[in-house]
Structure 1
Amino acid sequence: MARIVPRTIAEGPGERFAVWVQGCSIRCPGCFNPQFWGARGGTEQTVHDLLDAVPVDVEGVTLLGGEPFEQPGSLGVFAEQVRARGQSIMTFSGYTVAQLQSRARTDAGVARLLAATDLLVDGPFDRNQIDRERPWVGSRNQGFHALSSRYDALVNRWHESSDLLEVRVLSSGQVEINGWAETRDIEDLLHGLLLNGRIGTRTGGTANVLS
């Protein structure tokens, strides 16, 4: 795993447990999380331990990256166990749904994670098609696919869902941001926090930025 946020309302419907996986070979230009491209940098975690970390009162789990479908076997098992508890799975992928369905014919892991996903966001990020209308996605080419009945109604009602950006200032002075935003918007936000004394110069102006 590259990063975990135990509770967030910026990464899908309802309050969610968000998991960013390490490793992505797609590497979209302008990606919000290039630090998650390489295979190194994450930490190994068992399905059992990861499941234990998921609060029982959140609506579900969101899988991001990195690229979840580049390690679909263990994530598929995890997703199945999350759904068995009555919680939902939302998965982001840089691959299109057609590509994933094609891979699923010969890759049992891909088939397993697809089958355990309630809501799929598919397609590579395209910095020339920034999406300022729909929540959670970065570019207009990316699509939403309800793969179970759980979010059928939501797919055509995006205007009822807010696009949120969460900012956490840790006791160490480090700033964590998750939710999608353009880089200049984040720079303006951090500059405003600095001017208002919400963060100190001891952070060195750095932040962990998640989308």
Structure 2
Amino acid sequence: MSKPNNSSGSARTDAWTGQGAGGDLTLRLHRFLPKTRAEGPGIRACIWVQGCSIRCPGCAVPWTWSPNGGETVTVGELARRILEGPEVEGVTFAGGEPFDQAAPLAALGRMLKHRGMSVVTYSGYRLEELRAASRPDWHALLGVTDILLDGPFMREKADVSRPWVGSSNQRIHFLTDRYAFLKPELGRHRNRLEIRLERGGIVTLNGVADMDALQELLEELELERESPPKKGKADE
């Protein structure tokens, strides 16, 4: 997939992401990751929105619940970050609750789909609820979504045997034919957990993992951080 890398490319990007295309809409952003393999099929950008009205017990990211956190960004700015960033095949909308900010995400999804990208959307709502609601913004976001991962996380049904979801009640809906070829292969796709060391020594994680195994990993990392380094030949 080509990326705009010159003045004419930037002009084309502006045409797709300007005010008339919904580029002036804003959303509350918790985190933007320009490239990941853990948030849906293939290599993708991922947007975690800030704010969640569902607030599942046992949620792994409760700090995304407040609508007052994060930062305010325009849809056009997010589109530019994706289109002028690393080569990816699509974008994933996670949260927080994406359908709490359905209108700007639908506008962003339309922009990116015009450029041949795919859209994966998470939601704590079930597909039936989203379709039955008298919410044009919800229907618009569904309209640009290729894969919907629906249902609230349920701690008592924690299950990471399927890709991209964390409990057995959550479902994977192929709303278009874009990834229909994956349906019979889901059992062979494993969840991924990505760990990054950011500037300032901050460690960030994303993906889906067994919570007990993740806790053990974090405890091991903390022990290693606190332990004095072993002397090697270079130190002798």
What TM-score do you get using the length of structure 1 for normalisation? 0.88
Residue 144 of structure 1 contacts residue 155 of structure 1 at CA under 8 Å; is this kept in 2? Answer: no
Structure 1 residue identity aligned to 2:32: I
Query: Could you tell me which amino acid in structure 2 is paired with residue 67 of structure 1?
Result: E
Q: What is residue 206 of structure 1 aligned with on the other side? A: none
1:152 is matched with which residue?
180
Shift of 1:161: 1.6
Aligned equivalent of 1:14, options 24, 35, 42: 42
What is the aligned partner in structure 2 of residue 42 from structure 1?
Answer: 70
Shift of 1:56: 5.9
Structure 1 equivalent of residue 109 of structure 2: 79
3-state secondary structure, aligned to 2:105:
helix
Name the residue aligned to 1:193. Answer: 221
Cα distance in structure 1, aligned partners of 2:210 and 2:177: 32
Mean alpha-carbon deviation: is it higher for 72-81 or for 186-195? 186-195
Cα distance between partner residues in 2 of 1:43 and 1:124: 25
Alignment root-mean-square deviation, CA: 1.5
Provide runs of 4+ in structure 1 moved above 6 Å.
none
Secondary structure of the residue aligned to 1:5 is strand
Paired residue type of 1:83: K
Contact 1:145–1:155 (8 Å) recurs in 2 = no
Greater CA drift, 139-148 or 52-61: 52-61
Name the SS for the 2:169 alignment partner: coil
Structure 1 residue 91, shift from structure 2 partner: 0.1
Kept after mapping to 1: 8 A contact 2:35/2:86: no
Matched, 1:99 2:114: no
Are positions 1:167 and 2:195 aligned together?
Answer: yes
Partner of 2:89: 59
Say yes or no: does 1:129 pair with 2:157.
Answer: yes
Contact (CA 8 Å) 2:155, 2:167: kept in 1 or not? yes
Identity %: 43
CA distance in 2 between counterparts of 1:149 and 1:200 reads: 50
* Structure 2 segments unaligned to the other structure (5+ residues): 1-28, 228-236
TM-score, normalised with respect to structure 2: 0.79
Higher helix share: 2
- Which residue does the alignment assign to 2:145? 117
Q: Give the CA deviation at 1:190.
A: 2.2
